[in-house]
């Protein structure tokens, strides 16, 4: 789910950014039958988010990271 939302964070102008991405993944995790613990969720959010940001033009990635 994190990958799906990370990709969506870049589809909009302006990009929705980290806050939107984090909120969406956290909401999905909360409704899961077996939610991930906070430390694992945070690690996944950062890893997937950084991988998606690396695919984007540098100026867009920096703008979203700043958010």
The domain locations on the chain are 2-66
Percent of the chain, pLDDT > 90?
A: 34
- Least confident stretch, 22-26, 37-41, 55-59: 55-59
Radius of gyration of the chain (CA): 12
| Cβ(2)–Cβ(48) below 8 Å | yes
The string of DSSP codes covering 7-47 is HHHTSSSS--HHHHHHHHHHHHHHTSSSPPPHHHHHHHHHH
Q: CA-CA distance, 37 to 10, in Å (whole number)? A: 26
Asked if the model's pLDDT at residue 39 lies above 80, the reply is: yes
Asked if the model's pLDDT at residue 27 lies above 60, the reply is: yes
Q: What is the pLDDT of residue 61?
A: 47
Q: What is the pTM of this model?
A: 0.66
Asked if the model's pLDDT at residue 2 lies above 80, the reply is: no
């Amino acid at each position: 789910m994190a990958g799906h939302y990370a990709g969506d964070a870049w589809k909009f102008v302006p990009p929705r950014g980290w806050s939107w991405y984090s909120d969406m993944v956290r909401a999905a995790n909360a409704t899961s039958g077996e939610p991930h613990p906070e430390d694992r969720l945070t690690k996944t959010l950062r890893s997937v988010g950084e991988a998606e940001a690396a695919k984007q033009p540098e100026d867009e990635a920096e703008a979203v990271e700043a958010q």
